């Protein structure tokens, strides 16, 4: 394997799980188990109610905090929404944008994803932008077409400087929460396609520096083979991020693979 040295990232998306008390319990365990993390970025994305408490516990730890979504306006009459500035003040440095569950259940479109990424950058949050095809699209031979359209819709009006601050997550919808993980080869094929799109739109420096995570039923048993692939720079993890043993094991395995990825 001849991977460029992009730092591996393992990010946990807790979704609609964990009360404040449960979130504190989980993050306290993670902080203890992952006190010696190196060569791997670790991020947890709790629900909004728990984000400040989790942030306080993580202060000065190696584990970073992220939101699960944001709205593009800074403030106003937008009941139920949360702004980038609010997330930032609560301690977040990252935010997930365009998760397939938001696209599927909450009418997220490429256009709203684009506005949200801009809002994240404006508030100095690193967006983790999710793209991925459904089973029907894959079986219809439209994977690259769909990924290409999501990519252009999200980043069509971006400058190189803006693009450098983004993290991408390839999350095939058919693999999220289903236990059906993409094979390392299937995932690598799409990651390579995305990197080629990056190269075409933003040039070599952006394409080779930008991290592309894989998401979809990542578990301790499959993470190593995925991140051994040259274009897979880590994982966005749902189910396995809700349990301290599994999530810390994922991070430990990423640390073992890091030297193979050129990270010393």
Contacting positions for ligand PEP (CB under 6 A): 13, 171, 176-177, 215-218, 236-240
In the complex, what is the shortest distance from the CB of residue 172 to ligand PEP, in angstroms, rounded to a whole number? 9
Among residues 101 and 197, whose Cβ is nearest to ligand PEP?
Answer: 101
In the complex, what is the shortest distance from the CB of residue 259 to ligand PEP, in angstroms, rounded to a whole number? 25
| Total residues found in the chain within this entry | 264
In the complex, what is the shortest distance from the CB of residue 199 to ligand PEP, in angstroms, rounded to a whole number? 25
Among residues 129 and 176, whose Cβ is nearest to ligand PEP?
Answer: 176
CA 51 to CA 249: how far, in whole Å?
23
In the complex, what is the shortest distance from the CB of residue 176 to ligand PEP, in angstroms, rounded to a whole number? 4
Nearest to 197 by CA among 145, 135, 128, 134: 145
Active-site entry in 133, 171, 197, 229: 171
Among residues 45 and 87, whose Cβ is nearest to ligand PEP?
Answer: 45
In the complex, what is the shortest distance from the CB of residue 45 to ligand PEP, in angstroms, rounded to a whole number? 9
In the complex, what is the shortest distance from the CB of residue 180 to ligand PEP, in angstroms, rounded to a whole number? 9
Nearest residue to ligand PEP by CB is 238
If phi > 0 it is left, if psi is from -120 to 50 it is alpha, else beta; for residue 179 that is: left
Strand-pair partners of 234: 9
Among residues 206 and 218, whose Cβ is nearest to ligand PEP?
Answer: 218
- Catalytic annotation present for 171: yes
Among residues 187 and 207, whose Cβ is nearest to ligand PEP?
Answer: 187
Do residues 26 and 18 touch, judged by C-beta distance below 8 A? yes
- Catalytic annotation present for 229: no
Active-site entry in 99, 108, 197, 229: 99
CA 19 to CA 23: how far, in whole Å?
6
Among residues 6 and 102, whose Cβ is nearest to ligand PEP?
Answer: 102
> Which residues are designated catalytic?
99, 171
């Amino acid at each position: 394997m001849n991977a460029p040295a992009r730092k591996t990232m393992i990010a946990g998306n807790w979704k609609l799980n964990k009360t404040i008390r449960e979130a504190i319990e989980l993050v306290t365990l993670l902080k203890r188990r992952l006190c010696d993390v190196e060569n791997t970025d670790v991020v947890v994305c709790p629900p909004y109610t728990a984000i400040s408490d989790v942030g306080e516990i993580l202060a000065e730890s190696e584990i970073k905090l992220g939101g699960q979504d944001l709205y593009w306006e800074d403030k106003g009459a937008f009941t139920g929404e949360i702004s980038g500035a609010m997330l930032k003040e609560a301690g977040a440095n990252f935010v997930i944008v365009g998760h397939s569950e938001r696209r599927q259940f909450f009418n997220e479109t490429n256009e709203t994803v684009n506005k949200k990424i801009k809002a994240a950058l404006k508030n100095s949050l690193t967006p983790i932008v999710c793209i991925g095809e459904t089973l029907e699209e894959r079986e219809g031979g439209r994977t690259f077409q769909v990924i290409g359209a999501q990519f252009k819709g999200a980043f069509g009006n971006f400058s190189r400087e803006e693009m450098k601050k983004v993290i991408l997550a390839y999350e095939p919808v058919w693999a999220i929460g289903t236990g059906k993980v993409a094979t390392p080869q299937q995932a690598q094929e799409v990651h390579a396609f995305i990197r080629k799109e990056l190269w075409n739109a933003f040039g070599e420096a952006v394409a080779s520096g930008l991290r592309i995570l894989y998401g979809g039923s990542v578990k301790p048993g499959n993470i190593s083979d995925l991140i051994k692939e040259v274009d897979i720079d880590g994982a966005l993890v749902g189910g396995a991020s809700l349990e301290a043993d599994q999530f810390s094991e994922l991070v430990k395995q990423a640390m073992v693979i890091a030297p193979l990825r050129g990270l010393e």
